[in-house]
Structure 1
Amino acid sequence: MVQMAQRLLLKRFLSLPGRCLTSQVQSFSSLSVKCAQTHVPHFTTLPFSRSTKFTTAARQFSTSSSHRVTFSVQNKDDFQERVIESEIPVVVDFHAQWCGPCKILAPRLEKAVAKHQGKVLMAKVDIDDNTDLALEYEVSAVPTVLAMKNGCVVDQFVGVKDDDQVEAFLNKLIGPQTT
């Protein structure tokens, strides 16, 4: 139970935008101190910078925003800031943890978005955590994927697509990739 809480805390902490990271350092550090006082294993805190790495026994995580083209939307304000106001086109994946097709589509989308090397971003919106966003964008089934450019929905699809269809969807949004 404690390990699960630590993983959730780390996941939420790492999903924060880079500029918000420094404001969250004190709350994370105070939690580590509380964990130490109650004899609960905690993460090692290191000096913080924009590309700080957190080390656990098994993994290293980097919070460098320059390498993050996929991110999880935390709430409506986060969606406004990172998707609507984005100068870069954004693919928005409305999904749910319990959705089998979502688990099939997500890796395909992430792979295709990463291939475009920052020309497009991917926002992941869990409909159970962000019901208001799902209603606002009339999401009636998951997975629903929106293509957004300059704050407007320019294309969308519902359901699982194969790699070629996902690539064609992205190419329509940003143009063909030149390699």
Structure 2
Amino acid sequence: MAQKLLLRPLLSLPVKQLFAPLGSQHSLFLSRASAVPCSIPFHRPLPVATVPATIRTFSTTQVFRQTFNVQDGDDFQDRVLKSQKPVVIDFHAQWCGPCKILGPRLEKMVAKQEGKVLMAKVDIDDHTDLALEYEVSAVPTVLAMKNGDVVDKFVGIKDEDQLEAFLMKLVGP
């Protein structure tokens, strides 16, 4: 997909424009075989595709402002344990079918809280140490943390009403 976006401006140019020489400029190169100079026309450099800044933005929705992927143990320490806001931690795996259902549903419910709670996503295959530390034995497992302490937990899929009740216990009325 990214390749198509980068090549689109290049592919839309006429062939003549791509290979048209710049005036009468030529470069001289030595042929390796004969050490005799040969004249090779100098061509215009290929246009560089520029990507507008608006395309580089992944998302402007609140779901992604309040949800983040944990990168390592230090990141978990800084963004989860030291967080001033309550944090919901989604322990998941790429190969887990129920995780793919629960993840977006949980993100949506966290976004409805309008910044009162954050959501950290932890891939157990990448961060087995965190999964072991928090005794995650099955995925999806969701922990609720407040001031660095686990205050609630559930394993498996929940519907939106159950997720809302889970978050309301964490955030309060």
TM-score bracket, shorter-length normalisation: 0.5 to 0.7
Distance 1:43 1:102, change over 3 A: farther
Structure 2 spans left out of the alignment, 5+ residues: 4-45
Aligned to 2:74: 77
Is 2:143 the partner of 1:112? no
Aligned to 1:138: 135
Residue 175 of structure 1 and its aligned partner are, at CA, apart by 1.0
| Paired residue secondary structure (1:55) | helix
Q: Check whether the contact 1:54–1:62 (CA below 8 A) recurs between aligned residues.
A: no
Aligned to 1:92: 89
Once the two structures are aligned, what percentage of the paired residues are identical? 71
Q: Check whether the contact 1:113–1:122 (CA below 8 A) recurs between aligned residues.
A: yes
Q: Check whether the contact 1:70–1:124 (CA below 8 A) recurs between aligned residues.
A: yes
Is 2:146 the partner of 1:149? yes
The two structures have a TM-score, normalised by structure 2, of: 0.67
Distance 1:132 1:42, change over 3 A: farther
Distance 1:62 1:104, change over 3 A: closer
Partner deviation per Cα, 1:70-112 (whole Å, 9 max, x = no partner): 0000011000000000000000000000000001111110011
Partner deviation per Cα, 1:152-176 (whole Å, 9 max, x = no partner): 0000000000111000000000013
Distance 1:167 1:76, change over 3 A: same
The structure with more helix, counted as a fraction of residues:
1
After superposition, residues 28-67 of structure 1 pair within 5 angstroms as 44=51, 53=53, 55=55, 60-61=57-58
Aligned-partner Cα distance in 1 for 2:137–2:99: 14
Distance 1:89 1:42, change over 3 A: farther
| Paired residue secondary structure (1:98) | coil
Aligned-partner Cα distance in 2 for 1:109–1:61: 19
Structure 1 spans left out of the alignment, 5+ residues: 4-38, 47-52
Aligned to 2:159: 162
Aligned-partner Cα distance in 1 for 2:135–2:50: 40
Aligned to 1:173: 170
- Number of residue equivalences: 129
The two structures have a TM-score, normalised by structure 1, of: 0.65
After superposition, residues 116-131 of structure 1 pair within 5 angstroms as 116-131=113-128
Aligned-partner Cα distance in 1 for 2:154–2:50: 40
Distance 1:42 1:157, change over 3 A: farther
Aligned-partner Cα distance in 2 for 1:113–1:64: 12
RMSD: 2.6
Aligned-partner Cα distance in 1 for 2:146–2:87: 7
Residue 54 of structure 1 and its aligned partner are, at CA, apart by 5.7
Q: Which has the larger radius of gyration?
A: 2
